[in-house]
Structure 1
Amino acid sequence: MTAVLRKIGEVARIFDAVANLEFKSLALTRGQYLYLVRIAEQPGIILERLAAEVKVDRTTAARALQKLVQIGLVEKRRDAANQKNRQLFVTASGQQAAALIQRENLLSETTALQDFSPEQTAALEASLDQLLANVRPLWQNAKRGQTRDY
């Protein structure tokens, strides 16, 4: 692993660990806040799209979603256009929790970029966009069961 990927992973793990500790009061377990915010940002999203957004398999997303429904933060509704699909919406308490999580995300980003100039921030964002463009095909191929030659 290169030093760059190691550092990106460390940053992600730090913020994930902080978020998991800070969101315990919301009865959210590891990573569930990611799902809640995506649903709040995209009311009516379906499970398959949610799983793709968070980059997990459908089963993992379904387990997280089940817990969010059980604790009353998310509700499922039948899709009028496709009865097989269940659209996902945050409840009133889910909206409050999502708003708190979004404020935490903003604080985390502000903290991480506090000594960056606007130009450095723009350059970092552009570099991360390129990095994502490079690695997204890896996720798609892995989901299809493909492996890479090492």
Structure 2
Amino acid sequence: MAEILREIGMIARALDSISNIEFKELELTKGQYLYVVRICENPGIIQEQLLDLIKVDRSTATRAIQKLEQHGFVEKHNDPDNKKIKRIYPTEKARQVYPLIILENNYSNNVALKGFSDEETVHVLIYLQRIRKNIETDWESVKKGNKREY
């Protein structure tokens, strides 16, 4: 039972490492491709929403977004109704690399699920979504400064 999270971690690290190597030529490093995908899929997203989608802390997201901005992948604009809010939009450069990232994602999904039936694939997704939802409760709590009771 305890090995499940280790397996998930190894899978995530391996896929992240592959993506970082393959996307280096696109000037995307250290998981920045995740941000590009979410911003392309949600143009005008605010940083807080992005944090929740990717499950990272504010400082990590701030650094990644700044680097993406410097490399011309995203741009920030003031919200027309609330000047305190900055909305994040993909640039043409991001929209050009987005299909390549999705292509890699689809390929990795196919490799990961090779030999699985359609029914097994559905079950894997359902189980992983349940695991994520269980973890999200602790993530939200710890993010707010609370300690977990072991």
In structure 2, the residue corresponding to 1:76 is in which secondary structure?
strand
2:22 match: 22
1:149 CA drift (Å): 2.4
Give the whole-Å Cα distance in 2 for the aligned partners of 1:82 and 1:110.
Answer: 43
Unmatched runs of 5 consecutive residues or more in structure 2: none
Give the whole-Å Cα distance in 1 for the aligned partners of 2:8 and 2:80.
Answer: 41
1:87 CA drift (Å): 0.9
Give the letter for the 2:134 counterpart: N
TM-score of the pair, normalised by structure 2: 0.96
Q: How does 1:48-127 map to 2 (within 5 A)?
A: 48-127=48-127
Give the letter for the 1:119 counterpart: E
Q: Which whole-Å deviations, capped at 9, do the CAs of 1:92-125 have from their partners, x for residues lacking one?
A: 1111112211111111001111210001001111
Give the letter for the 1:5 counterpart: L
Give the whole-Å Cα distance in 1 for the aligned partners of 2:130 and 2:94.
Answer: 33
Give the letter for the 1:148 counterpart: R
Unmatched runs of 5 consecutive residues or more in structure 1: none
Give the letter for the 1:64 counterpart: A
Give the whole-Å Cα distance in 1 for the aligned partners of 2:138 and 2:52.
Answer: 13
In structure 2, the residue corresponding to 1:75 is in which secondary structure?
strand
In structure 1, the residue corresponding to 2:148 is in which secondary structure?
coil
In structure 1, the residue corresponding to 2:76 is in which secondary structure?
strand
TM-score of the pair, normalised by structure 1: 0.96
List structure 1 segments (4+ residues) > 2 angstroms apart after TM superposition.
none
2:41 match: 41
1:51 CA drift (Å): 1.3
**Size of the alignment, in residue pairs?**
150
Give the whole-Å Cα distance in 2 for the aligned partners of 1:57 and 1:148.
Answer: 17
